[in-house]
A and B are shown apart, each in its own frame.
Chain A
Amino acid sequence: MVKIRRAYEALFLGLFLFFLIITDLRYLRGWPVSLFLEATPLVAVSTALTTHTLYRNLVWGLVVIAITMMVGRVWCNWMCPFGILHHLFGWIGNRRNTKQMIEVNRYRKIYAIKYYILAAMLVMAGRWIVPATWAAPGDIVAAYKQSHASGVGRLTGAVGSGLSRAISESKTGSSTLQIGLLDPIALTVRSMTTSVLPTVHTATEGIYTEPREYMWGWIVGVIFVGFLVANWWIPRFFCRAICPLGALLGLFSRFSLWRIDRDPVRCTDCDLCLKSCEGASDPQGDLRKSECFVCLNCIEDCPHDALAFRFLPRKASEVTYPQVGRRQLMMAGLFGLLFYPMTRQSGLVKKNFNKAVIRPPGSVAEDEFLRRCIKCDQCIRVCPTNVLQPAMFEAGLEGLWTPIMVSKMGWCELNCTLCSQVCPTGAIREISIAEKLGTGPFEAKGPIKTGTAFYNQGRCLPWAMDTSCVVCEEVCPVSPKAIFTRNVEVTSRWGETLELKRPFIDPVKCIGCGICEHECPVKDDPAVYVTAIGETRDKSRSLLLSLVEDPQAQELVSV
């Protein structure tokens, strides 16, 4: 059995790395490269909480939940690439003798921390329940008054429609999605994308065509390596103590029909089963069902065949529920409740929105974006120009490591929608080239704008330094160009007459792709630069009245 498991581990880690490598313009084709991100049930559950919908392939998460409800947390030791990496790192760093190994694999109280982390994150995601509860009585009364039905039907109808109204009204502006910080897949993809792969590339030159650079990527890398190295002191430290996905699966594994069971007669209490126990789930006593990774090592290690993976064993010999402290759980919930109001103090979502938070095309409006983005940085991985960067605090504490476009690093390629194709949660919803450019059926709606370019005339060569340039006009990809020039005649310092083309922006045509900023020869602080105003994803951030939607422009779905 353990050999089969090892084969699966190799298979799933290999598949993950394969998908990671081919998340690239050159190899992408039709591969489901975001499969692992879509399969983590934590993403499914928490985005269902924040958005009340389940985006596209996130149903895979439900399949994993279903598997967990049958056979327990097999995800953690058979499928999860981060778990498998931990397994590998623990094995590499293991210099203990048998006795030490037994001791280090006993259950510890700190392994309950993951449940508090999960609680805090789910409360953050479901915080809309609070305003919905306040609004519900009023909405139910209003629905009752409006209803024309009679009797019981009127009451139940009013309760139903009042509740759904209260819920949908409370959805926006009251919750935030933070599971991505610690969801193992999001964390691994993010770490690979923004630090591991660029580092490996610099060493081997074998991954990208052009080297990639990511601002503050090293912080992500240090955290990633830190978690891996932690295995040398506490095996599977991340999985046992931190992983909120493990905690979620731990809750679901209480239903599992199969589990490790100890034969109390055959067992001689030698504790050898603890030697390679990955989950620290006490197979030598009453099994902690929520902690067991179903690695099956204990069965292999038992000298008396006292352990078996059994169908519906006795209830009496298991610890069904995770052991958590009620007070700690309440404190975690309270933290989750207050986190959102605290982070929104920055005003960065509405009034004080940051000009540097330029989201990739297809992104939904900022509030919704923060309720969908899991910071997996898969979009950053696939972006062919390096323009997408993990944000630090530009988008607030909530927006840590979410994608923003930094035009000095790259530009948004006109005929490219790769980021929208790989996004697992619809924070960047899938768009077609036609929708991005506003052609064909999207003619009336116009192109997707990510921002608007402006000139800093004090730094622009033809504006400030009597020098011809207009590289910006040359590279402007839209047709007709958003950058146009006006000819002027000036007298130079030495008295000659110079003819100069001075560039201007047509804000109607500009889509904010940033290639002008990227190519501007005034490299350090470009004379033409893009800011977020005018982005089409949010009506309240529009700049020109003439671009406000046309009624003929129906909500068309791309692709």
Chain B
Amino acid sequence: MSEKLTRTQQKNLERLGGVNPAEQPIPRRQFLTQLGGTAALTGAAVGAGLIIKDNWGMEGVKPPPPVRLKNYAVELLPSKPSLVVVRSNPVDSHGFASKDEELKAREDQVLKMVKAALSEMGGIERFITKGDVVVVKPNVAFDKNPDLAATTQPETVAAVVKLCLGAGARRVIVADNPINNPESCFFKTKVGDAALRAGAEVMMPQHSYFEDLYVGGETIKNTWKMFYRPFREATKVIGVSPVKDHNLCKATVTMKNWYGLLGNPRNQFHQDIHGIISDFALMMKPTFVIADGRKLLMRNGPTGGSLNDVKKADAIVVGTDCTAVDSWCVSRLLEKSRHEIIYLDKVIARGLGKDWRPQWTSEVTV
């Protein structure tokens, strides 16, 4: 305060006790904290910025690494058949006191049939071991009554679930990505209820449950969105499918059942239907598959809609190779000529599956 102060300024100085606080030296602590703090924060901001710097705008849009499906197949003893056809006379709907009893009888029968088929192949223990997490993939693409044979029969799903749990499976997940509304499909096909009663979990698709799956095939050359969440922990996979007609690829059996795991826009695959179905032989190596040939949708597939399109039959086909099972079903059940089914020829030509042979097949009747 060397210069001359005005009267007001002198009053100010007196009020402040004769010391001008603005001229005090900077306290060391303030100096260090403020300088250090600013330097540290500036450094942190610039550093963080350099870490997340993205020169080409590609980092932000880079998809997560694609998932791959494991090989869920198990080795069978060479002496055992790889395809078993079980036949049993259909349960007569008359002669039961109530609907529930009839249902019970039908469930028991299917359980017996599937069990018989599996024991022919070496027993369920051959396929499911203690602690397994099993994904059961039914075909519930449409919200229709099971009697219309457009979807997997609920009692077959229940039988498979019970057998898996009986063999010591830790979890059984029943999952499908239907064409119609998922809740509605699982409800009206009765598969949801049957699965839950048998002790399985039902997993319906949600947006976040889809991941990029690497296929590297002929039609899916690279990756495609797949309903992968149920497979995160899975150790075994079982396909349970109906046997039905299809307008485009002529038959929907166990191979086309895997279509139900793909995400949108999957309808584009109709531009190359045989290619995509043959890709499934590459994509999915299931533990075993079941083609439920007790009700056959002979025409108007894959949706059906009339009981006149449904033919009652008596067979359940269990096998480890979708190709053989489909081949058997189309010629023996759907009354189609084997070479009408182009995808089967494709699969065989690509070496991804083997056609049905009598020497690997056994037929049993329960």
Contact = CB atoms under 8 A, between A and B. Distances in A.
A317 B45 CA distance: 28
A210 B26 CA distance: 62
A306 B334 CA distance: 99
Interface string A25-58: 0000000000000000000100010011111101
Interface string B185-207: 00000000000000000000001
Interface of B: 1, 5-6, 8-9, 12-13, 16, 20-24, 26, 30-31, 34-35, 37-38, 41-42, 45-46, 49-50, 52-62, 64, 207-208, 216, 219-222, 225, 264-265, 268-269, 271-272
A137 interface: no
A265 interface: yes
Interface stretch (A194-202, A308-316, A498-506): A308-316
B269 A551 contact: no
A262 interface: yes
B55 A304 contact: no
Interface residues of A, number: 62
Interface string A231-264: 0000000000000000000000001110001111
B26 A262 contact: no
Contacts of B222: 548-551
B26 A268 contact: no
Contacts of B34: 255, 257, 312
A52 B49 CA distance: 10
Contacts of A559: 56
B24 A314 contact: yes
Interface stretch (A59-67, A92-100, A334-342): A59-67
A510 interface: no
A316 B26 CA distance: 12
Given A255-B37, A314-B21, A550-B221, A542 B265 contact: yes
Given A52-B60, A545-B272, A555-B58, A313 B38 contact: no
A426 B60 contact: yes
Contact of A430 (B16, B52, B56, B220): B56
30 contacts: A44-B49, A48-B49, A51-B60, A53-B52, A54-B53, A54-B54, A56-B57, A59-B49, A69-B38, A69-B41, A173-B207, A264-B22, A266-B9, A311-B26, A312-B30, A312-B31, A317-B21, A317-B22, A364-B61, A368-B60, A368-B61, A426-B54, A426-B60, A429-B57, A544-B268, A545-B269, A545-B272, A548-B222, A548-B268, A551-B216
Given A312-B34, A364-B61, A429-B61, 8 more contacts: A54-B53, A56-B57, A265-B9, A304-B6, A372-B60, A426-B56, A430-B56, A540-B225
Contact of B38 (A53, A255, A262, A315): A255
A187 B64 CA distance: 35
A65 B42 CA distance: 8
Contact of B45 (A53, A65, A168, A310): A65
A62 B31 contact: no
B44 to A, nearest CB: 10
A316 B219 CA distance: 72
Interface in A296-341: 304, 310-317
Given A48-B49, A262-B22, A551 B57 contact: no
A109 to B, nearest CB: 28
Nearest to B35: A257
Contacts of B5: 265-266
A557 B58 contact: yes
Contacts of B41: 69, 255
A258 to B, nearest CB: 11
Nearest to A540: B265
Contacts of A558: 56
A172 B366 CA distance: 54
A365 interface: yes
A70 interface: yes
Interface in A57-86: 58-59, 61-63, 65-66, 69-70
A548 B54 contact: no
A557 B57 CA distance: 9
Interface in A449-508: none
A546 interface: yes
B53 A261 contact: no
Contacts of A368: 60-61
Nearest to B55: A56
B57 A268 contact: no
